[in-house]
Amino acid sequence: MITEDTTNTTSTMSNEWLKDELNDAQQAAVTAPLGHQLVLAGAGSGKTRVLVCRIAWVLLNHSLSPFNILAVTFTNKAAGEMSGRIASMVNEAVRGMWVGTFHHLAHRLLRMHWNEAKLAENFQIIDSDDQLRLVKRIVKSMNLSDNKWAPKKIQWFINGQKDLGLRAKDCVRDNFYQDKMIDIYYEYETLCEQNDLVDFSELLLRSFELLRNNPDLLQHYQQRFKHVFVDEFQDTNSIQYEWIKLFCGPDTFITVVGDDDQSIYGWRGAKVENIQRFTREFSNVTVYRLEQNYRSTAIILKAANALIANNDNRLGKELWTQSNPGEPIPLYAAYNEQDEANYIVNCVKDWVHQGGARKEISVLYRSNAQSRALEEALLHHNIPYRIYGGVRFFERAEIKDSLAYLRLVTNRNDDTAFERVINTPTRGIGARSLEIVREHARTHQLSLWQASCELIHQADSILKGKARNGIAQFCEIINAIEDKTINWNLADQVDFTLKHSGLYASYEQATSELVRSKLENLKELVNAASQFVPIHTDLEMTPLALFLSHITLDAGDTGADPYEDAVQLMTLHSAKGLEFPFVIVCGLEEGLFPHKMSSHDPDRLEEERRLCYVGFTRAMQKLCITYATSRRAYNSEFIGRRSRFINEIPKNLLAEVRFKTKVSKPVFFQTTANFAEDEKPLYQIGQRVYHQNFGEGTVLDYEDHRTQPRVLIRFTQHGDKWLLATISKLSILK
């Protein structure tokens, strides 16, 4: 039986405080009677505040203790912030309350009930890279071509089946390809069981099976958690939804907060229909809508509302604001991606000239490939920029090498860690020698560590010379680290590991700035260990094991380091949950956004529209949209049509941008502006024209010298030509 602090809270939250902090709709959701709730929270509507206040309200007004609360978030950062805010509101620590991501909470369950879950007590979590390494090993052992049986696709298949709650034995065999994928899945399950390994998807599936297959344990948690809260409910997948349902017993109330209009992760298993399922499968669900937006201008919200209204099967809501109307949304039709990038550069310069900061600008795109032209233009104009979501600290190669050594110290049977560092730094162990170890492990059903120990102690071992000595040395290093540091503090343990493994030495003599930075990263890892404070001290794990689990779970979060004053470039998917004073959404062309793979699939097209909606609603003060009439891709040039998403925005909300040049220096203005007649350019970039001698062409550039304006035209059959703009042989095609 699990025992935890069950002291009840008796104070009462002030209604006056609620009136000061919450609008009417928010107050209604926070102070509602106990029951099942769906809070449809629009972008920028203060959903986190409502969720936190609701938890505090339940604690303070319904005789519940933190022990009775289960709250699920999608990021570790959100979980930490939520715990802190709730503690400050109820004026006490929230000890006993379970707050965390699906993976953190599932991991906690498995650590507490490892025996019932049929796991080893010291099971090891593997991240995506290590999982892929394991799949590659299986593909090779089955003598399969990794061209035909791509390890990455196999990894997606395995995780996809687990997200659906399916083991290999549950998968349907209906063709040769599917049969072989299931066979690989079987081998993967077997290898993980042998080596006590658990991947991210397995955390949820295994903890779901743990509760489902142990009725007494399930009843304990259903009786314990009187109220369940779930944030970002629109992003839940099948197994997460079923996992949540298990906790909800007959006396449990559940509150889910989400926005069906912001469900953009269908490609990784999220089910927007879970929101509809929730209202059907839970009785007497009360729906609350948060529609007042505190982020964007009225014009931005009107554009977003008009766009998303084209999706069917919405639960329905319309964002509004009491803030200023804002300015019309600039819409720029670029000739090509370079022209688009140059326009964006000028937008950045204008913003900075008007007193804004570069870090306040975010340029959003559908595909990572679009960043190249943007980066080139920004570099050319010496404008600092950052790619959001670059390689983070714990994902850097030298850090992953360090963690692999530490993982082997805690679990010798971790094959993925073994393979990563057996020859790092170099010990003279080649691919052939490692294959001998693998073959011995397969034949005798051993881990690579066990196989290595047997081979180096066999008198007639087929491992010879340098390779045998190298493997023996490696095993001695791992054993020495554990023996020497078993009672040391965590930071000293990590520091000794880096020294004794040779990782420090491999970088200390380097003169290159890049390699020196790797040594600094290793030292920062020791610093991270010195600052590590375990969250769950009730788990019977060593500080090192807790540290490794914490790092691996945190690596599943998306995010980036804080930016300096630099323009922020990112995909639209990466922008979810963020906000910026100035947002530029580029590349709104049919086939690019919406993506060509989605154009003929109604469900995928609706997700593309939701993605566009998310992009628009990131903007606080200013939103700008661009598209190109011509774009190079796959070494070919494509003529594109502007996205249907642009056509779904009312024209009175847009300000189409035209630009003119004087001595080839671009100047931009909006057609809604009031210019004198002689200031208007005669031609526009990308405009189609006809010449009596040269035929049809497209305007590439325009120089307004007043007395003799001229235009650069690319003719279909005669190439590029500069012509006087006033000659009678040139006419504009409609």
CATH classification at residue 184: 1.10.10.160
Burial label for 389, CB within 10 Å (0-12, 13-18, 19+), is middle
The distance between the two most distant Cα atoms of the chain, rounded to a whole number of Å, is 96
Residue 119 lies in a domain: no
Please pick, among 468, 609, 618, 631, the residue that the annotation labels catalytic.
618
Q: Are strands 719-724 and 730-732 parallel, antiparallel or unpaired?
A: unpaired
The answer to whether the beta carbons of residues 210 and 249 sit under 8 Å apart is no
How confident is the model at residue 250, as a pLDDT? 92
Nearest to 112 by CA among 211, 213, 18: 211
DSSP character at residue 424? S
Average pLDDT over residues 132-160: 89
Please pick, among 26, 37, 234, 262, the residue that the annotation labels catalytic.
262
Measured in whole angstroms, how far is the alpha carbon of residue 582 from the centre of its chain?
22
Residue 666 lies in a domain: no
Distance separating alpha carbons of residues 304 and 712, to the nearest angstrom: 38
The pair of three-digit structure tokens given for residue 187, joined into one six-digit string: 């081998």
Q: How confident is the model at residue 535 (pLDDT cuts 50, 70, 90)?
A: low
pLDDT reading at 49 higher than 70: yes
> When comparing pLDDT for 387 and 301, which is higher?
301
> Per residue in 642-660, pLDDT tens?
999 999 999 999 998 865 4
Q: Are 454 and 547 in a shared domain?
A: yes
The pair of three-digit structure tokens given for residue 703, joined into one six-digit string: 């120089």
> When comparing pLDDT for 261 and 530, which is higher?
261
Highest mean pLDDT among 301-310, 525-534, 673-682: 301-310
Burial label for 14, CB within 10 Å (0-12, 13-18, 19+), is exposed
How confident is the model at residue 380, as a pLDDT? 81
Q: Are 318 and 183 in a shared domain?
A: no
**Angle separating helix axes 102-112 and 200-212, nearest 10 degrees:** 60
Nearest to 76 by CA among 530, 507, 555: 555
Cα→Cα distances 708→659, 682, 701, 727, Å: 18, 12, 14, 10
Highest mean pLDDT among 372-386, 403-417, 516-530: 403-417
DSSP character at residue 167? -
Average pLDDT over the chain reads 85
Q: Are 606 and 488 in a shared domain?
A: no
Residue 451 lies in a domain: yes
Q: How confident is the model at residue 697 (pLDDT cuts 50, 70, 90)?
A: confident
Q: Are 477 and 545 in a shared domain?
A: yes
- Token look-up 């350019």 returns 681
Please pick, among 9, 47, 224, 416, the residue that the annotation labels catalytic.
47
Please pick, among 27, 48, 292, 670, the residue that the annotation labels catalytic.
48
DSSP string, 504-542: HHHHHT--SHHHHHHHHHHHHHHHHHHH---S-TTS---
Average pLDDT over residues 230-248: 94
Which helix (H) or strand (E) is 499 found in, with range? helix 490-501
Q: How confident is the model at residue 514 (pLDDT cuts 50, 70, 90)?
A: low
> When comparing pLDDT for 269 and 219, which is higher?
219
Whether omega before 250 lies within 30 degrees of 0, making that bond cis, reads: no
> Per residue in 600-635, pLDDT tens?
888 899 999 999 999 999 999 999 999 998 886 554
Please pick, among 130, 202, 232, 704, the residue that the annotation labels catalytic.
232
Distance separating alpha carbons of residues 454 and 637, to the nearest angstrom: 60
- Examine the residue annotation and report whether 540 is marked as an active-site residue of this protein: no
Q: Are 248 and 280 in a shared domain?
A: yes
Whether omega before 534 lies within 30 degrees of 0, making that bond cis, reads: no
Domain boundary among 498, 530, 554: 554
The pair of three-digit structure tokens given for residue 393, joined into one six-digit string: 């600290």
25-39, 92-106, 166-180: least confident range: 92-106
> Per residue in 336-359, pLDDT tens?
888 899 999 999 999 999 999 999
22-36, 63-77, 363-377, 700-714: least confident range: 700-714
Average pLDDT over residues 449-475: 87
pLDDT reading at 168 higher than 80: yes
The pair of three-digit structure tokens given for residue 163, joined into one six-digit string: 């997200």
Average pLDDT over residues 676-698: 70
pLDDT reading at 94 higher than 90: no
Distance separating alpha carbons of residues 560 and 578, to the nearest angstrom: 12
pLDDT reading at 328 higher than 70: yes
Q: Could you give phi then psi for residue 153, rounded to 5 degrees?
A: -65, -40
Beta strands in 540-608 (DSSP E): 567-571, 580-585
Residue 676 lies in a domain: no
Distance separating alpha carbons of residues 488 and 547, to the nearest angstrom: 14
Q: How many domains does the chain have?
A: 5
Helix spans in 290-336 (H): 298-308
Which helix (H) or strand (E) is 716 found in, with range? none
229, amino acid identity: F
Highest mean pLDDT among 16-25, 319-328, 519-528: 319-328
The pair of three-digit structure tokens given for residue 573, joined into one six-digit string: 């998917």
The answer to whether the beta carbons of residues 200 and 127 sit under 8 Å apart is yes
Helix spans in 292-358 (H): 298-308, 337-353
Beta strands in 259-320 (DSSP E): 286-290
- What SS3 state is found at 501? helix
How confident is the model at residue 563, as a pLDDT? 55
The pair of three-digit structure tokens given for residue 310, joined into one six-digit string: 């084209």
CATH of the domain at 714: 2.30.30.390
Q: Are 54 and 176 in a shared domain?
A: no
What strands, in cross-sheet order, belong to the sheet with 619-628?
385-387, 567-571, 361-365, 580-585, 619-628, 329-334, 654-662, 665-670
Domain boundary among 176, 195, 214: 195
Percent of all residues in the chain with a pLDDT value above 70, rounded to a whole number = 86
- Examine the residue annotation and report whether 386 is marked as an active-site residue of this protein: no
Q: Are 286 and 302 in a shared domain?
A: no
Please pick, among 163, 199, 202, 231, the residue that the annotation labels catalytic.
231
pTM here is: 0.76
> When comparing pLDDT for 245 and 537, which is higher?
245
pLDDT reading at 501 higher than 60: yes
Residue 7 lies in a domain: no
Residue 583 lies in a domain: yes
- Examine the residue annotation and report whether 262 is marked as an active-site residue of this protein: yes
Residue 367 lies in a domain: yes
Residue 333 lies in a domain: yes
**Residue-number span of the structural domain to which 184 is assigned:** 124-195
Q: Are 517 and 407 in a shared domain?
A: yes
Q: How confident is the model at residue 665 (pLDDT cuts 50, 70, 90)?
A: very low
- Examine the residue annotation and report whether 231 is marked as an active-site residue of this protein: yes
Q: How confident is the model at residue 89 (pLDDT cuts 50, 70, 90)?
A: confident
Q: Are 408 and 360 in a shared domain?
A: no
The answer to whether the beta carbons of residues 305 and 314 sit under 8 Å apart is no
pLDDT reading at 4 higher than 60: no
Sorted by sequence, the CB contacts under 8 Å of residue 65 that are 6+ apart come out as 5, 6, 7, 8, 9, 59, 96
Burial label for 197, CB within 10 Å (0-12, 13-18, 19+), is buried
pLDDT reading at 1 higher than 60: no
Q: Are 309 and 231 in a shared domain?
A: no
CA 125, 131, 137, 143 torsion-angle sign: positive
Q: Are 268 and 412 in a shared domain?
A: no
pLDDT reading at 14 higher than 60: no
CATH of the domain at 421: 1.10.486.10
The pair of three-digit structure tokens given for residue 280, joined into one six-digit string: 């059907």
DSSP character at residue 9? P
Percent of all residues in the chain with a pLDDT value above 90, rounded to a whole number = 54
CATH of the domain at 288: 3.40.50.300
Q: Are 472 and 605 in a shared domain?
A: no
Distance separating alpha carbons of residues 243 and 209, to the nearest angstrom: 9
How confident is the model at residue 364, as a pLDDT? 97
> Per residue in 568-602, pLDDT tens?
999 899 899 899 999 999 999 998 899 887 878 88
How confident is the model at residue 108, as a pLDDT? 94
Nearest to 276 by CA among 241, 231, 319, 227: 241
Domain boundary among 536, 554, 572: 554
The answer to whether the beta carbons of residues 566 and 386 sit under 8 Å apart is yes
Helix spans in 354-464 (H): 371-380, 397-410, 415-421, 431-444, 448-457
Distance separating alpha carbons of residues 295 and 326, to the nearest angstrom: 12
pLDDT reading at 513 higher than 60: no
CA 424, 429, 432, 436 torsion-angle sign: negative
